[in-house]
Structure 1
Amino acid sequence: MRKPRDFDAELKTLEDKALELKTRKVQQLGDLVIATGADALTAEELAGALLLLAETKDPDRREAWERRGAAFFQGRARRSAAAADHDGGGTPAQPSGTQPPSGGTGAA
């Protein structure tokens, strides 16, 4: 006779995995905000900019943003590889040039 499935245990496992994926996504989005220097913006400025981006339907504009984003990630990958070669494999906690210096002028 077959062993009955424990649906509660399977559901709990799936819920745990979903929570883990959501947590990872939130962490990656936060890392992206910091890496691009957007953490210097106020929450309202960042939300407004993201809303504008989400509402934009112009395919040419969206394609231009996509190209710029791809160039950002390719440049970061090159810098990370160069840093790994230079310092023995470690990667910096913060990508250089992404945050204004302390006390510098940021978003008002």
Structure 2
Amino acid sequence: MRKPRDYDAELRTLADKARKLKNRRQHQLGELVQATGADRLSVEELAGALLEAGTAPRPTREAWRKRGAAFFRGEREDAGDGARGRPGSVAPDDRSAQPASGTTGTP
């Protein structure tokens, strides 16, 4: 005689696995936001950028896809002027950085 299956235990196992995958995806999204420097944007700016991305024309989205692919391949120079994959860092040509106090900003 065959042993009966415990469907409740299998469902709990699947639910735990789904929860772990969701948590991992959320963690990776947070890492991506930090690595790209998007954590320096306000929530409103980030939401607006994402809404705009959804309605962008196909050629623009294709260019973004290529930059994203380069970013994930580690080709930071081709991926844009972001933080180059170093969370908390400032891009070398970031114009928004303020000069140190007492300096005029000219060499």
Please indicate, yes or no, whether the TM-score normalized by the shorter chain is above 0.5. Answer: yes
Residue of structure 2 equivalent to 1:85? none
The runs of at least 4 aligned residues of structure 1 exceeding 3 Å deviation read 95-101
1:60 and 1:100 map into 2 onto residues whose CA distance is 29
Contact kept in structure 2, 1:38 and 1:46, CA below 8 Å:
yes
Equivalences, count: 86
TM-score (norm: length of structure 1) = 0.69
* Structure 1 residue 97, shift from structure 2 partner: 7.2
Q: Give me the CA root mean square deviation.
A: 2.5
TM-score (norm: length of structure 2) = 0.69
Gap change, CA 1:73 and 1:5, over 3 Å in 2: same
1:32 and 1:52 map into 2 onto residues whose CA distance is 19
Mapping of residues 73-92 of structure 1, within 5 Å: 73-75=72-74
Mapping of residues 64-103 of structure 1, within 5 Å: 64-75=63-74, 95-96=85-86, 99-100=89-90
Q: Which segments of 5 or more consecutive residues in structure 1 lack a partner in the other structure?
A: 78-94
* Structure 1 residue 60, shift from structure 2 partner: 1.1
Q: Does 1:8 align with 2:14?
A: no
Instruction: Judging by fraction of residues, say which structure has more helix.
Output: 1
* Structure 1 residue 54, shift from structure 2 partner: 2.2
1:30 and 1:68 map into 2 onto residues whose CA distance is 19
Higher relative contact order (CA 8 A, sep 6+): 1
Matched-pair identity in %: 56
